Chains A and B, each alone.
Chain A
Amino acid sequence: MPVRIQTEDFEAGREIANLRRDNAAVGAIASFIGVVRELNDGAKVAGMTLEHYPGMTEKSIAGIIEQAKERWNIHDALVVHRVGELKPLDQIVLVAVTGAHRGEAFSACEFIMDYLKTHAPFWKKEQTPGGSRWVEARESDDVAVQRWQSKA
């Protein structure tokens, strides 16, 4: 299963080992891990709750991986995303891509992450000293995803 949504933590090394197991055609693995930062928009973050839309989230990310596979010559991709209660230092998301060469693996990994940030239905609610607040979508994330629409 290339997409997993879970409350439990993940171990990137083990996930990557599984992804490339017994595939000697793989020459490159690119990965990204997003983690909970202690500061956001000028406030100290004590923790956050990650909500998602079960069903649509998996479908949406699977679609993003399919697009990446059509666009670049990659072997496989994996996305693990946590939901529920998270604290600073906790891991949130893992994206890993295997391919023959690094260029396509790097690009596909960044593409998947940029689309996930702007299209996959997840929402963060942060606990700060001033109370709880829903995280606002960032314009910089929209700009990041638009780059892929203009690139050949």
Chain B
Amino acid sequence: MITILYFASLRENLGRGAEQIALPTGTCDLKSLRALLRVRGAAWGQAMADGSRVRAAVNQDLAGDDAAIKDGDEIAFFPPVTGG
């Protein structure tokens, strides 16, 4: 199982803040996880599209498409940050 967190406008658009899912193949990378989530519906397709402005983190570090994901990891998706 992996934990996926969603923040800010993404959480509102997708209607959830957190979930746990089983990785189909046991391991994958961020790009394939986004492809897996994209088929859930229109809002998901937009948020998880290639080239989307949505950022991702793996185990609380900013991560790119090729970042590896393994069982037990915490993945987060969120819009560009606006603190300070």
Contact = CB atoms under 8 A, between A and B. Distances in A.
Contacts of A59: 60-61
Interface residues of B, number: 16
Interface residues of A, number: 27
B52 interface: no
Given A51-B8, A121-B7, A134-B79, A34 B57 contact: no
B47 interface: no
A60 B62 CA distance: 9
Contacts, number: 71
Contact of B76 (A56, A124, A134): A56
Contact of A137 (B61, B62, B79): B79
B76 A53 contact: yes
B57 to A, nearest CB: 6
A139 B57 CA distance: 21
B15 interface: no
B84 A121 contact: no
A122 B82 contact: yes
Nearest to A142: B80
28 contacts: A51-B7, A53-B57, A53-B78, A56-B57, A56-B61, A56-B76, A59-B60, A60-B60, A60-B62, A117-B81, A118-B81, A119-B62, A120-B83, A121-B81, A122-B84, A123-B9, A123-B78, A123-B79, A123-B81, A124-B82, A134-B8, A134-B9, A134-B82, A135-B82, A136-B80, A137-B80, A137-B81, A137-B82
Interface of A: 34, 50-53, 55-56, 59-60, 81, 92-93, 113, 116-125, 134-137
Interface of B: 5, 7-9, 57, 60-62, 76, 78-84
